[in-house]
């Protein structure tokens, strides 16, 4: 396991903050501290994989060798747009409402 990997066992709160941001999770300071402790325990355990001899072993991401097979390109009915937009917690007509993404005026 790399040096960086070994640091996982002692995950710092600032690292947890970064991971929470990448995970799109808004956590309180108490939740960050609790997560740091619990994640460190799990990472400390999984670090044992670093002791395995995996030299030259082909990574296995999927149990099936047939996982990227292609189907015939046959059209079929999908769900109506109104059903899909209707599932949104905020929709109007056939659109999903979101907060403003682009700043007004600047044309950015």
Partner 1 sequence: MGYIGGMSTPCGTLVEIRDAIRSGAMSSVDAVRGCLERIEALDGTVCAFTQVFAEKAIADAGAIDARIAAEGAERVGALAGVPVALKDNICLDWGKTTCCSRILEEYESPYTATAAQRLIDAGAVIVGKTNLDEFAMGSSTEHSCFGPSRNPWDTERAPGGSSGGSAAAVAAGMVPLALGSDTGGSIRQPAALCGIVGVKPTYGRISRWGLVAFASSLDQIGPMTRTVEDAGLALDVLCGEDPLDSTSARVEVPAFTDRLRDPIEGLRIGVPAQARSEQNDPDVARVFEETVERLRTMGAEIVDIDLPHMGAGIAAYYIVAPAEASSNLARFDGIRYGRRAEIDQGEDLETLYSRSRAEGFGGEVRRRIMLGTYVLSSGYYDAYYNTALKARRLIKGDFDAVFSADASGAGVHAVLLPSTPTPAFRIGEKIDDPLALYLEDIYTVTANLAGIPGVSVPAGFAEVEGKRLPVGVQLLCPAFGEVNMLRIAAGLADSSALETMPAG
Hey, is 98 helix, strand or coil? coil
CA 49 to chain centroid, in Å, comes to: 22
Asked whether the CA dihedral 47, 48, 53, 56 is positive or negative, the reply is negative
79-92 in b/e burial notation, b at 16+ Cβ within 10 A? Answer: eeeeeebeeeeeee
Q: Is 63 in the site for partner 1 (CB under 8 A)?
A: yes
Q: Which helix (H) or strand (E) holds 56?
A: none
* Among 73, 75, 89, 93, contact with partner 1 (rule: CB under 8 A): 89
Q: Is 30 in the site for partner 1 (CB under 8 A)?
A: no
Q: Is 108 in the site for partner 1 (CB under 8 A)?
A: no
* Among 29, 57, 73, 106, contact with partner 1 (rule: CB under 8 A): 57
Name the site residues for partner 1 (rule: CB under 8 A).
Answer: 1-2, 4-5, 8, 11, 15-16, 19-27, 31, 34-35, 38-39, 41-43, 45-46, 48-50, 52, 54, 57-64, 66-69, 71, 79, 83-84, 87-90, 96, 98-99, 101
């Amino acid at each position: 396991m790399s040096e960086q990997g070994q640091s996982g066992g002692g995950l710092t709160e600032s690292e947890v903050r970064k991971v929470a941001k990448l995970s799109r999770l808004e956590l309180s300071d108490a939740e960050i501290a609790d997560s740091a402790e619990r994640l460190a325990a799990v990472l400390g355990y999984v670090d044992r994989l670093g002791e395995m001899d995996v030299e030259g072993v082909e990574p296995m991401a999927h149990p099936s060798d047939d996982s990227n097979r292609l189907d015939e390109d046959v059209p079929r009915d999908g769900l109506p747009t109104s059903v899909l937009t209707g599932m949104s917690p905020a929709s109007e007509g056939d659109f999903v409402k979101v907060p403003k993404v682009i700043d007004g005026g600047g044309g950015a």
